[in-house]
Structure 1
Amino acid sequence: MIKIKTREEIEIMRESALIVSRTLGMLAKEVKPGVSTLYLDKLAEDFIRAEGAIPGFLGLYDFPNTLCMSPNSQVVHGIPNKEPLKEGDIISIDCGAKKNGFYGDHAYTFAVGEIKAETQKLLDITKESLYVGIREFKVGNRVGDVGFAIQNFTEKHGYGVVRELVGHGLGKEMHEDPEMPNYGRRGRGKKFVEGMVVAIEPMTNLGTHKIRQHNDGWTITTLDNKPSAHFEHDVAIVNGKPELLSTFKYINDALGIETNEEDEFRANS
């Protein structure tokens, strides 16, 4: 059952989402060759707790850490470890936080030093597909409209759209209805209404869309071991339109990126 949020609840959720946004912004300055994902995980846990929140992933479904850290061919759910990042890697950092009873949850894929041009394009297209999907999250549209938009945009570039892993509703639970696939058919699925909040999160592979799960029960990699990218925002329907609760502003500031890609999804737009 879809749980509709009041304006007051949406503002509480915005606070949780922005804690995650600031966490990712802090980490953006720390992602570099020689740094371990376990070190980044500890930084994130300390930062989230200092913000008066609790890590949203730690212990959720028995996950052992604060961050899902998924380098290179790992799609999602990678477990932090002591292995240092290397020049040319990419790393998806998926982060959650819970404050005042509500979750924030979003993700960004970072370049570690200089990366290959084809890998950078994968990151760029996957992030752009996120906003392509968000535009369809509005009153009167349906789940399939978002999935179709993301899939159509991404597959035009020859990339594989992961089928088995999807976005989701968000609120007092990390995963609520509806599921939000990154593929689909227009006009299909549950209809969007005022007050819905979801996490939209394209997961795009440089090669095949097929994946496999590892024996640790968490780590997911591409079947052909080619790189995968993952970007995620928390979005509410306010006044019939999509409004971002999370932001990549802190990441952009840390990395010196100038962009207006989020402007159309702001409250005053």
Structure 2
Amino acid sequence: MSLIKNRKQIEAMHRAAKILAACHQEIGKGIRPGVTTLEIDRFVEDYLSRHGATAEQKGYMGYPYATCTSVNDVICHGMPGKHPLKEGDLLTVDFVVNKDGWLADSAWSYGVGRIPPSTRRLMRTALLSLLAGIRQAKPGNRIGHISHAIQTTAENGGYSVVRQFIGHGIGQRIHEPPSVPHSGPVESGKILREGMVITIEPILTAGSSEFKLDRDGWTARTADGCLSAQYEHTVAILRNGPLVLTKQ
């Protein structure tokens, strides 16, 4: 596996990414109180099938679903279920699309119905943190430039960054080098090179960054029960700067 993708390989990943981004837009239209996360999961799997793609994470290390659906205090890897979403819930939907052997990965947070201003502010800061990191994803910078920009934006907003879950390289496998932490000093990490494709996926919490794992072995939730929000894009490092493949 090569850290560097050529133009045709990036174009192939972009095709997967466009399907993923369009699917997220459709998800957003259907989220409302009463909908279950299992219904969302089934919608995603059907949507991908109709567009000639598959959900890469289904079966990955035994994971049984097409999506991770994380509600309120769940940080990530929440399993879809039959419990209906409620007014004011905060939902993150994360999935990986495989189109002709090439992958794209994106997570997005959604408010369910009317959400309180505090939840909206957490979501906005999480998105701003992602965008701050993306701006630093250019050749010659270190991964630490991304990490530091995310951490600074989050902490200036009064939020914590979950350090244990990080971004990564991606291509024909979900997880490839390099690792992309969402906190740390500017001088840390590998130097970014043209042709790298990475995920940037900060998770912010309204309280402590500590987490606990449910008995299912997948669901990670905040230790203090505070809300969590996450946004993620797959980003190609090009000569003139970052190209967000999963842009909606």
TM normalised by structure 2 equals 0.98
Equivalent pair of 1:2/1:169 in contact (CA under 8 Å): no
The AA in structure 1 aligned to 2:55 is P
Contact 1:94 1:106 in 2 (8 A): yes
Which one-letter code corresponds to 1:77 in the other structure? H
Question: SS of the counterpart of 2:30?
Answer: coil
Equivalent in the alignment of 2:29 = 29
Could you say what secondary structure the match of 2:75 adopts?
A: strand
| Aligned counterparts, 1:135-154, within 5 A | 135-154=135-154
- Percent identical among aligned pairs is 40
SS at match of 2:157: coil
- For 1:51, the equivalent position in structure 2 comes to 51
Q: Which residue of 1 aligns with 2:63?
A: 63
Q: Where does structure 1 differ by over 6 angstroms across 4 or more consecutive aligned residues?
A: none
Q: In the TM superposition, what is the alpha-carbon distance from 1:96 to its structure 2 partner? A: 1.1
Which residue of 1 is the match for residue 183 of structure 2? Answer: 183
The answer to whether the 8 Å contact 2:138/2:239 transfers is no
Q: Distance in 2 between matches of 1:2 and 1:192?
A: 14
Partner of 1:113: 113
Contact 1:76 1:220 in 2 (8 A): yes
Matched residues in 1 for 2:169 and 2:211: separation?
23
**Counterpart residue identity of residue 191, structure 1:** I
Tell me if structure 1 keeps the 8 A contact 2:52–2:99.
Answer: yes
Secondary structure in 2 matching 1:217? coil
Farther-moved stretch of structure 1 (126-135 vs 235-244) = 235-244
| Superposed displacement of residue 61, structure 1 | 1.2
Counterpart contact for 1:141–1:187, Cα < 8 Å: no
- In 2, are the aligned partners of 1:41 and 1:65 still within 8 Å (CA)? yes
Q: CA deviation at 1:2?
A: 5.4
The answer for unaligned runs of 5 or more in structure 2 is none
* 1:181 maps to amino acid: P
| CA distance in structure 2 between the aligned counterparts of 1:174 and 1:16, rounded to whole angstroms | 13
Q: Which residue number corresponds to residue 165 of structure 1?
A: 165
Q: Secondary structure at the match of 1:164?
A: coil
* Cross-structure match for 1:213: 213
The question of whether the paired residues in 2 share the 8 Å contact of 1:193 and 1:240 is answered with no
Residues 1:230 and 2:235 are matched in the alignment: no
Normalized against structure 1, the TM-score is what?
Answer: 0.91
Number of aligned residue pairs: give it: 248
Q: Does the 8 A contact of 1:236 with 1:245 survive in 2?
A: yes
Distance in 2 between residues matched to 1:76 and 1:2, nearest whole Å:
28
Provide the C-alpha distance between the structure 1 equivalents of 2:156 and 2:245, rounded to a whole number of angstroms: 29
In the TM superposition, residue 57 of structure 1 has moved relative to its aligned partner by 1.2
User: How far apart are 1:238 and its partner, in Å?
Assistant: 1.4
Structure-2 separation of matches of 1:30 and 1:52 = 22
State the 1:189 CA deviation. 1.1
Instruction: Give the C-alpha shift of residue 19 in structure 1.
Output: 1.0
User: Offset of 1:207 from its aligned partner?
Assistant: 0.6
Shift in CA distance, 185/88, structure 1 to aligned 2, threshold 3 Å:
same
- Structure 1 residue 240: deviation in Å? 3.9
Q: CA deviation at 1:81?
A: 0.3
How far apart, in 2, do the equivalents of 1:148 and 1:239 lie? 22
Deviations 1:194-248 (CA, angstroms, capped at 9, x unpaired): 1000010010001111111111010000111010000000100112411111112
Consecutive unaligned residues of structure 1, counting only runs of 5 or more, are 249-269
Distance 1:157 1:28 in 2: 25
